[in-house]
């Protein structure tokens, strides 16, 4: 999705929802890696 285009079109809610999905995906990935790396010293 093109965030620049969404902002240029004034679609701020769509932009915020897109960013929120990105943050949630990053958090899920963080938890996966944290769990997998927990046993590695």
Q: What pTM does this model have? A: 0.71
Dihedral, CA atoms, 28, 31, 33, 37, nearest 10 degrees?
A: -170
pLDDT at 3: 93
Q: For residue 28, is pLDDT > 70?
A: yes
Name the nearest CA neighbour of 15 among 27, 5, 25.
5
Percent of the chain with pLDDT over 70: 95
């Amino acid at each position: 999705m093109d965030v620049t285009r969404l902002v240029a079109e004034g679609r701020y809610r769509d932009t915020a929802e897109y960013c929120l999905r990105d943050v949630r995906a990053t958090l899920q990935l963080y938890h996966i890696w944290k769990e997998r790396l927990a046993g590695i010293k």
